[in-house]
Structure 1
Amino acid sequence: MRTRLWHVVAALVAGLMTMPQTACGGDSQSRSDSFTVGLLLPSRSVPRWEHSDKPLIEKRLKELCPRCTVEYANAENDADRQRQQLTSMITKGVKVLILDAADARALRSSIVDAHRADVPVVAYDRLAEGPVSGYVSFDGGQVGRLQGEALLKAMGAQTKSSQVVMLNGDPTSPNAAWFRKGALSVLAGKVRIGRSYDIQGWSTDDANAQMSAAVAALGPDRIGGILAANDAIAAGAISALKRAGVRPLPPVTGQDADLDAVRRILQGEQYMTVYKPFRAEADAAAAMAVALGRGDDPRSVTTTTTDSPTTSRIPSVLLTPKAVTAGTVEQTLVKDGVYSIDQICTRAIRPACEKAGLTR
């Protein structure tokens, strides 16, 4: 995999804004600048898809290609539904697809169909199998490493005497294995993994059930930390721990910087989350989709290449995630405009915000 500096992408994305066009309006408008982009996201169970990724991608596409339109669909964690949605978009004549696969392997045949129909596919956040034309995500290994490092720091001296429960992501997502591998690269040999579960659909309810099983198997006093793959899973784990009467709560990791998770972090229920700057991811995907829709080489807006189980050297952008704890909410999430202090600090958690120095 070859890597260039991220600022190249920023410059190229900016370049798309000023690229000579046949015109943004008027009789001379080129057909290549009035196409439809299909956007397929995997679920509503993870808040970021609807609240962050969708509006950010739509906004950036409109900025880069004012006459382009967006056809949107959400799979609701159903790979069959997403296959139908993808087929429908091809039938309707979309020029390019941005796809976050509900099941990376199950969507492979649909991506082959898109390729045969000359509809390029940009794999978004998760690397789907099949002949995708581009890939935009975050370094999943680094996500796992940030979680593992934070957990070790929070556990402190308890790493020798207690156990970690790993609540991994959905096994149908290639990211889940990537996160787990990154976390284990930090945790292996330093803590004992008492239990490890795969959480179907990244479901809060499944995480709750598996955490309850871990408490029953290991005992409430022998769990020193929870490696939760994302914030929805963390929510289920914390609920189970509370119901079992575990006090104090062991440190719990997360990912996605969901608003409820940020509030849990400030209240001391969740130790950390991993923030993946969604705007940069959305910008890169939009830039790649517009380039492909115009018939340009996607490598003009990528920084590296990635190999999937089916395709080698996919033009890619892999961005850098950031760890967020109670002490860094302001300089990360608030600074980047993800949330305002007013959004985070409801009346119920205002004392916790003040304790963390998060005040207007």
Structure 2
Amino acid sequence: MNAMMRRALIGTAVVSMALSMAACGKAGGSSSSSSSASSPDSGTIGLLLPENSSSVRYESFDKPLIEAKVKALCPNCTVKYNNANGDAATQKQQFDTMVAQGVKVIMLDAVNANGTASWITDAAKKGVKVVAYDRLAAGPVAGYVSFDNEKVGELQGQALIDALNANGGNAKNDDIVMINGDDNDPNAGQFKAGAHKVLDTGVKKIVYEQSGQWQPTVASQKIGAAITALGKNGFQGVYSANDGMAAAIITALKAAGINVPVGGQDAAPDAIQRILSGDQAYTIYKAYKPEAEGAATIAVDLLHGLDVTGTATSVTNDGGTNVPSLLLTPVVVTKANVKDTVIADGMYKVSDICTAQYADACKAAGLE
């Protein structure tokens, strides 16, 4: 899929969401023809993000994009922000504090999405609306914005097969290692399921599979255990659920003198550099701007009392409730399409990626 087609798909999804909201009032603001015309033009929206160690995306992209969109839709609104640094108990304290402070709309990217039901239920009884961001949190959430996570896994699996098939290879003859995300994260389970759909029949065998818990140090330990158990020639590729773990895996493989395809997810800047230099085979690009702006739009509309149940898509949560949802389309990034994806979309400037160390690799990829 080229960059223009991808932007068209993402744009259609966001426009569809906005149009469906507009049926109940102006998206992102009050409506002169709606009972919400008296809605406040100010207020506070909570933003709780999960961590900042294994992925740079939350502080570098999600937070500033959400804050900018909220400000554009509601100039007098403020965003109250906290990051849980990977600790579920800390995030619950942050959530409870926001509820106690009277915050009525909270955007939540849960550290442990399976453990949020009781506190979201209690908050809902107090009139607090929760927008599940990136992960579908358990409990009565008012909306959900993410990507088609099983599709992400399918793309990861196919990209690894493509890398194994490159230069005359045959993935059907190859064994691979899988280092998955945190078992407590429903997204990780969806990535894993999607990858297995492709890999179970696309490679010879998955000879070692463990959770890396979204932690680079854990992923490094797991790949070390795989090398010890299988030997240097015991596998021909590695599936890594994200780029942070992929970086650690690649470092461990290099130290052991092993050179096999490794892929990730998140299109982190260092992952793009590794792809250009040939150290990493691929990543998955999930355009943060439409995800962040879609969630911010829902949050502002909920703050203004607007109905968001008319979104084009819904998913069923753990309680059997259909949650209004916006699910966006992920894209595989390889050396061949860096220029047409993360650069063309403005996620990174060439100068961000093409530092002196990667100048030759960038030049070979047409990035100058």
TM-score clears 0.5: yes
Q: Shift in Å at residue 323 of structure 1? A: 0.5
SS at structure 2 position matched to 1:299: coil
C-alpha separation in 1, matches of 2:289 and 2:32? 25
Instruction: Indicate whether 1:44 and 2:47 are aligned.
Output: no
Q: Structure 2: any 5+ residue segments left out of the alignment?
A: 1-11
Deviation per residue, 1:17-48 (Å, 9 max, x gap) = 676579xxxxxx95622110000000012110
Distance 1:328 1:314, change over 3 A: same
> In structure 1, what is the Cα distance between the partners aligned to 2:117 and 2:89?
12
CA 1:348–1:12: 2 relative to 1, 3 Å: farther
Instruction: Tell me which residue corresponds to 1:222.
Output: 234
Are residues 1:282 and 2:282 paired?
no
Secondary structure of the corresponding residue to residue 16 of structure 1: coil
Aligned to 2:273: 263
CA distance in 1, matches of 2:331, 2:195: 14
Whole-angstrom CA distance in 2 between matches of 1:36 and 1:30: 17
Q: Is the 8 A contact 1:139 1:318 kept in 2?
A: yes
Secondary structure of the equivalent of 2:210? strand
Q: Secondary structure, in 3 states, of the residue corresponding to 1:37?
A: strand
Tell me the distance in 2 between the aligned counterparts of 1:312 and 1:11: 23
Distance 1:18 1:71 in 2: 19
Instruction: Give 5+ residue unaligned stretches, structure 1.
Output: 23-28
- For 2:207, the aligned partner's letter is G
Q: For the structure 1 residues 48 and 296, does the alpha-carbon distance in structure 2 shift closer, same or farther, using more than 3 Å as the test?
A: same
Partner of 2:222: 210
Residues 148 and 186 in structure 1, CA contact (< 8 A), matched pair in contact too: yes
Which of 97, 106, 109 is the aligned partner of 1:100?
Answer: 109
SS in 1 for 2:40: helix
Instruction: Quote the offset at 1:222 in angstroms.
Output: 2.5
* Per-residue Cα deviation, 1:60-108 (whole angstroms, up to 9, x for no partner): 0111111111110001110100000000001111120000000012222
Query: Counterparts of 2:99 and 2:340 in 1: how far apart (Å)?
Result: 42
Counterpart of 1:193 in structure 2 is 206
Q: Which residue of 2 aligns with 1:16?
A: 27
Match of 1:56 in 2: 65
Q: For residues 352 and 19 of structure 2, what CA distance do their matches in structure 1 show?
A: 32
Structure 2 CA distance, aligned partners of 1:210 and 1:288?
39
The 1-side partners of 2:188 and 2:266 are apart by 13
CA distance in 2, matches of 1:59, 1:116: 30
**CA distance in 2: counterparts of 1:198 and 1:21, whole angstroms:** 52
SS in 1 for 2:132: strand
Q: Post-superposition shift, 1:158?
A: 4.0
Return the alpha-carbon distance in structure 2 between the equivalents of residues 17 and 306 of structure 1: 22
**Of 132, 141, 157, the match for 2:150:** 141
Partner of 2:355: 346
Contact 2:243 2:271 in 1 (8 A): yes
How far 1:163 sits from its partner (Å)? Answer: 1.0
Could you say what the CA RMSD is over the residues aligned between the two structures, in angstroms? 1.8
Question: Quick one: which of 180, 187, 207 aligns to 1:175?
Answer: 187
TM-score for both structures, normalised by structure 2: 0.90
Answer whether contact 2:263 2:282 (CA < 8 A) is retained. Answer: yes
Instruction: Please name the residue that 1:25 is paired with.
Output: none
Report whether the alignment pairs 1:67 with 2:80: no
Give the Cα separation in 2 of the matches to 1:124 and 1:195: 31
1:76 to 85, 96, 103: 85
Q: Partner letter of residue 269 of structure 1?
A: D
Between the aligned partners of 2:215 and 2:32, the Cα distance in structure 1 is 45
Give secondary structure in 2 for the equivalent of 1:35: strand
The alpha carbon displacement at 1:187 in A equals 1.0
Distance 1:212 1:162 in 2: 19
Decide which of 59, 63, 87 is 2:96's aligned counterpart.
87
8 Å CA contact retained: 2:283, 2:333: yes
- Give 1:254's aligned amino acid: G
Asked whether the equivalents of residues 131 and 311 of structure 1 are also in contact (C-alpha less than 8 Å), the reply is no
Q: Is the 8 A contact 1:149 1:186 kept in 2?
A: yes
TM-score (norm 1): 0.92
What SS class does the counterpart of residue 232 from structure 2 fall into?
coil
Partners of 1:207 and 1:270 lie apart in 2 by 15
* 3-state SS, counterpart of residue 263 of structure 1: helix
Question: Percent identity, aligned pairs only?
Answer: 46
Change (3 A) 1:188 1:58: same
Deviation of 1:299 after TM superposition, in Å, equals 2.3
Matched, 1:34 2:42: yes
Change (3 A) 1:242 1:166: same
Partner of 1:295: 305
Counterpart in 1 of 2:336?
327
Instruction: Compare relative contact order (CA 8 Å, sep 6+) and give the higher one, 1 or 2.
Output: 2
SS where residue 262 of structure 2 aligns? Answer: coil
Q: Which amino acid aligns with 1:259?
A: P
> 2:311 aligned with 1:312, yes or no?
no
What secondary structure is seen at the aligned counterpart in 1 of 2:115? coil
